[in-house]
Amino acid sequence: MHRRWHPSDLIVHPAAGSASMISTAPTRPYDIVAALVEEFIISRQPVSELRRLHRRQWELEDASRAPDASAERVGVLKGEIDASNSRRHRLITAIDEQVAYRPADGASRYYSETIGELCDRLIILDLKHQALTDDSTDSVDGISRHLAVTANQLVEHTRRGVAVLPPRVGLKIYRRDAEREMPRQRRRLRTLITSRRSLP
């Protein structure tokens, strides 16, 4: 009788005397982020800010999909979402700039995400985990276990110097003046709301 495969079968355990690695049964996805921050000696400030930004962006996206949202309001919200995405990519870059790891000569374990990009994905997954009820988190928990295994492999490979991380390139490009437009857009939204409230 064959035993079913489990993600924990892929774990590469650290050598004796090395620090413990990431749990493959995380309580929540953010546990993996916290472990990566500690492993790669990353400041918590950009990570915490990225987490707050995702919460706010989730709220903006919900508001933009509200059935009673006017075209004007949706336009303003979309502008805020674009500015938020620009800030998001700068924070991911700020995280990656703190990662001092450099591969050794001959490194051949290629990864498709930077440390910052992996943290970003885990933070989004953590928000989904929080939004679900306790009895409906199985799918998120399964992805969390899978990513914990991936993170463990990444940690083990960077400790050996064999991991090759991709260059950090933010692919979402918005107008450079997007953030400068936000105060004007917010004033416009407030004017629209005030004018509608004053209608008989």
Put residue 67 in one of left, alpha, beta given phi > 0 → left and psi -120 to 50 → alpha: alpha
pLDDT at residue 98 greater than cutoff 80: yes
Assigned domain for 147 exists: yes
The kind and range of the H/E element at 9 are none
Domain annotation covers residue 171: yes
Q: Is 1 inside a domain boundary?
A: no
Does the pLDDT at position 16 exceed 80? no
Which residues span the domain enclosing 148? Answer: 25-188
> Is 144 domain-assigned?
yes
**In total, how many domains does the chain have?**
1
Residue 17 lies in a domain: no
pLDDT tens digits, 18-69: 455 898 888 899 999 999 999 999 999 999 999 999 999 999 999 999 999 9
Residue 44 lies in a domain: yes
Cβ–Cβ under 8 Å, residues 112 and 168: no
Q: Give the separation between CA 57 and CA 78, rounded to whole angstroms.
A: 10
Whether residue 195 lies inside any domain: the answer is no
pLDDT tens digits along 139-189: 888 999 999 999 999 999 999 999 999 999 875 555 554 455 555 555 555
Cα–Cα distance for residue pair 172/82, rounded to 1 Å:
9
The more confident residue out of 134 and 182 is: 134
**Residue 3 reports pLDDT greater than 50:** no
Residue 12 lies in a domain: no
